[in-house]
Amino acid sequence: MDYKNTLSISEARKKFFEMAEAVQKPGVYYSLTDKGRPKAVMLSYEEYESIIETLEVMAEMPELEKDIKESREAYKSGKYKTWTTLEGLLAKQGFVLAEKAKKQYGVSSKNRAKGRKTTK
């Protein structure tokens, strides 16, 4: 839930440290105004980084929303089960994949050290 506070820049000067602490909670931010017009926003650095990263991803993948929608529909219908796997793609490119080990690793009961009781 976003919790927005609007303050004048003059009022924000008085409450700067209090605001800096408050924005550390997810979804809390301040809109700062000058003469009633929005001028700046104060939010946590973590939220800022998240917004910038989201914008970068959206710029690199302009059809991301469409792709997500298609993937969700394919998952619901079961169509995704016929998609090529990463192993399949690599094999088509000529990569030789190592076979997965069928052996399970662990300590056999023969080699386990017997616990000693200690007395104090």
Domain ranges of the chain: 3-60, 63-95
Q: So what's the pLDDT on residue 75? A: 84
The residues, any chain, with a CB within 8 Å of residue 30's CB and separated by 6 or more, are 4, 5, 6, 7, 12, 19, 22, 23, 41, 42, 43
Label the pairing between strands 3-8 and 28-34.
parallel
CATH superfamily ID and name for 3-60 = YefM-like domain (3.40.1620.10)
Q: What is the pLDDT along the chain (120 residues), one digit of tens a residue?
A: 456 799 999 999 999 999 999 999 998 999 999 999 999 999 999 999 999 998 998 888 888 888 888 888 888 888 777 777 888 888 888 887 776 555 554 554 554 455 555 555
Answer yes or no: pTM beyond 0.85.
Answer: no
What is the sign, positive or negative, of the torsion defined by CA atoms of 57, 59, 63, 66? Answer: positive
